[in-house]
Chains A and B, each alone.
Chain A
Amino acid sequence: MTVFPVRSDAWRQRVTNTALMLWYGAAVLFLFAPIVAGIGYSFNLGVVNKQTATLTGWTLQWYPAAWYDLSLRRAVEASLEVALWSALIAVAIGSALGYAIVRHPHPLVRRGLTGLTYMLLIVPESVVGVSVLLFYAVTHIPFDTATLIAGITPMAIAVVALIVRARVLTLDRRVEEAAADLGSTRIKTLWFIILPQMAPAIATAGLMAYTFSFDNLVVSAFLTTPQINTFPVYLYGSLQYGPAPTVYAAASIVFLFTLLMLGGAALLYRLRRRRNAAMAVL
């Protein structure tokens, strides 16, 4: 060992590297297993219109069945609508919050806003859910789509605010100072100088807010009624009667759709960056 210290060290490092790589592979396998299984079960025949853990045969019938299942379709449509509004509100309010966290002139206000944003993230969702339920019950506000949307916006706002904040931190203030020196008002600077620079971050944030709002289960579970039922809440409720085979087909489609959307966004982002890099070179 002491004779060949270098060789033994290299050997040991190779073992460590291999072990780390295997561990990483195992983690990815573990994380993907249920997703692959879910897609697999969407093709599983099941027994008498119930999905079963045992694979009983292959079929494609659940895809058209999911498409023609009216309550399932209504739930997906409700989710699309709720997530869209939630993302829009979150983009408007979260961007303002993300900007104010960094740029508000008073440090005390900045610190307060930062605290509020982190609070949004760390209060457990079940606590938020029961609190909002209680709030609506006490104020006698009847449940409808608007109350559901309002209830799930705080988390979406936090996501947008943190992404936008990260971008605002990297903005070059000299550009704004130059604009001011050239006679631009603050509002004009915000609209023509700052907003365009933040646009990619805002778009990314909006996409994430949309994904998270679409997937929101815990808060939504407290705020839905038989009339307004979102996709995750519908799935959660249907589990009481054993998973209907159509849900895996619907879930697979939703997953594919999310993946395409995120992939498209990533691609756009990359193209943009490449173009910017090319412009910087010129």
Chain B
Amino acid sequence: MVVLSSISRGVEPAAGRSGRRPMPHPMDHVLAAVPVFWLAIFFLAPLGFTVVFSFGHATFGGVEPGFTFDNYRMALSGFYGATFARTLVFALSASGLCLVAAFPVAYFIARHTQRRRNLAIGLILIPYFSSFLIRVMSLQMLMSRGGVAEAVLNALRWHQGPLDVLDTQTAVFIGMVYAYLPIAIVPLYVVLDRIPGPLLEASRDLGASRWRTFLFVTLPLSRPGIATAALLTAVPMLGEMVIPKLLGGSRGVLMGQAIAAQYLQAQNYPLGSAMAVLVLVLVAILVTVLARLTKGFAEVGR
């Protein structure tokens, strides 16, 4: 929660209370250099290799260095291109649905719980701390034929006969929204909680209805939270490989799985690298667009 809230806050650290810049000390450089060194080796270098490989020529199970766009051409056409497009549409729509489902929850926690607020937010976060894989596995069990969801829906008479939702796009959609709902709720809650109550009262006093106040005061002020929630849900969805595999079967292949298959089965490293770089480019575009949305909002209700 602290992690998520600090993202949506985006506070620029002050240079110092007294305004003067403290004298640099060797220790400052050590504290900055150690993480940079570690991350350069185990994070940046691997990503660099991926970028370099994406321009190489594929040989049988290996790579020849070179400079070609063939891999990108291949990754954007035919089956892979379709997968790419489907993944993008999927991530954006599932993220949108996640936000729509999360907003009332965050609003309820921020506005209608006082003493039991920690409990209210805790109930949202506890599932997030339990094993991701187990939750998806259980979801699979619940949704499969003869499972509990089928029994419940039949008992409620919302559905008749066996339930064939598993191994469809719908199941992947449900799974995505399920897995990322808590991450969408937290930044929205943080931002809604920080909107000053007197502001809303002022809007009411000036004659705006409750609905208009929400639409023209609350909603615009929660833009940074919306952007953060969108980022934190849409980006991992772009690379998601476990949910589509467990819930979508062969019909729900998304980019994450397609990339993994290039590395683990087809051994076509350059093509897999090009696909990975394309995902990174999408992520960068998303970040830029969403950063624009929050521009000038750093100071809201701090």
Chain A CB within 8 A of B45 CB: yes
Task: Write the B21-64 contact mask toward A (1 if CB under 8 angstroms, else 0).
Answer: 11111011011101110110111011101100100000000000
Can you name the residue of chain A whose Cβ is closest to the Cβ of B237?
A124
Can you name the residue of chain B whose Cβ is closest to the Cβ of A236?
B133
The answer on a CB contact under 8 Å between A31 and B182 is yes
Cα–Cα distance between A37 and B7 once the two chains are bound (Å): 33
The answer on a CB contact under 8 Å between B13 and A154 is no
Q: How large is the interface on A (under 10, 10 to 19, 20 to 34, 35 or more residues)?
A: 35 or more
Chain A CB within 8 A of B80 CB: no
Find chain A residues with CB under 8 A from B43 CB: 120, 128, 154
Find chain B residues with CB under 8 A from A251 CB: 131, 134, 137
Find chain A residues with CB under 8 A from B131 CB: 215, 232, 251, 254-255, 258
Closest Cβ–Cβ distance, residue A121 to chain B (whole Å): 8
The answer on a CB contact under 8 Å between B260 and A222 is yes
Q: How many residues of B contact A (CB 8 A)?
A: 95
The answer on a CB contact under 8 Å between B7 and A162 is yes
The answer on a CB contact under 8 Å between A107 and B210 is no
Closest Cβ–Cβ distance, residue B269 to chain A (whole Å): 6
The answer on a CB contact under 8 Å between A100 and B283 is no
The answer on a CB contact under 8 Å between A41 and B108 is no
The answer on a CB contact under 8 Å between A34 and B6 is no
Cα–Cα distance between A122 and B7 once the two chains are bound (Å): 11
Known: A24-B104, A35-B127, A218-B241. A134 touches B49 (CB 8 A): yes
Chain B CB within 8 A of A235 CB: yes
Chain B CB within 8 A of A239 CB: yes
Chain B CB within 8 A of A74 CB: no
Find chain B residues with CB under 8 A from A30 CB: 178, 181
Find chain A residues with CB under 8 A from B280 CB: 123, 127
Cα–Cα distance between A159 and B1 once the two chains are bound (Å): 10
Contact residue among B18, B32, B45 (Cβ-Cβ distance under 8 Å from A104): B32
Chain B CB within 8 A of A110 CB: yes
The answer on a CB contact under 8 Å between B2 and A162 is yes
Closest Cβ–Cβ distance, residue A103 to chain B (whole Å): 7
Contact residue among A53, A135, A222 (Cβ-Cβ distance under 8 Å from B145): A53
Chain B CB within 8 A of A82 CB: no
The answer on a CB contact under 8 Å between A34 and B178 is yes
The answer on a CB contact under 8 Å between A52 and B28 is no
Can you name the residue of chain B whose Cβ is closest to the Cβ of A12?
B210
Known: A30-B178, A125-B239, A133-B263. A52 touches B130 (CB 8 A): no
Contact residue among B11, B45, B236 (Cβ-Cβ distance under 8 Å from A135): B45
Contact residue among A21, A157, A262 (Cβ-Cβ distance under 8 Å from B112): A21
A-B contact count (CB 8 A): 271
Chain A CB within 8 A of B120 CB: yes
Cα–Cα distance between A36 and B131 once the two chains are bound (Å): 13
Known: A38-B135, A118-B7, A232-B133. A53 touches B241 (CB 8 A): no
The answer on a CB contact under 8 Å between A131 and B3 is no
The answer on a CB contact under 8 Å between B273 and A134 is yes
Chain B CB within 8 A of A32 CB: yes
The answer on a CB contact under 8 Å between B276 and A127 is yes
Chain B CB within 8 A of A190 CB: yes
The answer on a CB contact under 8 Å between A37 and B46 is no
Chain B CB within 8 A of A97 CB: yes
Cα–Cα distance between A107 and B28 once the two chains are bound (Å): 13
Find chain B residues with CB under 8 A from A53 CB: 141-142, 144-148
Closest Cβ–Cβ distance, residue B150 to chain A (whole Å): 8
Find chain A residues with CB under 8 A from B137 CB: 38, 235, 239, 243, 247, 251
Chain B CB within 8 A of A227 CB: no
Chain A CB within 8 A of B248 CB: no
Given contacts A27-B185, A218-B239, A239-B137, 7 further A-B contacts (CB under 8 A): A38-B141, A97-B31, A130-B50, A135-B45, A159-B3, A163-B3, A166-B6
22 A-B pairs, CB-CB below 8 angstroms? A16-B210, A17-B112, A21-B108, A23-B105, A28-B124, A32-B123, A93-B34, A100-B31, A105-B21, A124-B238, A125-B236, A127-B50, A129-B260, A130-B262, A131-B47, A131-B276, A134-B49, A157-B39, A174-B17, A208-B3, A222-B263, A251-B137
Which residues of A pack against B, CB within 8 Å? 9, 12-13, 16-17, 19-21, 23-24, 27-28, 30-35, 37-38, 41, 51-55, 89, 93-94, 96-97, 99-107, 109-110, 113, 116, 118, 120-135, 137-138, 150-151, 153-154, 157, 159, 161-163, 165-166, 169, 173-174, 177, 186-187, 190, 201, 204, 208, 211, 215, 217-218, 221-222, 232, 235-236, 239, 243, 247-248, 251, 254-255, 258-259, 262
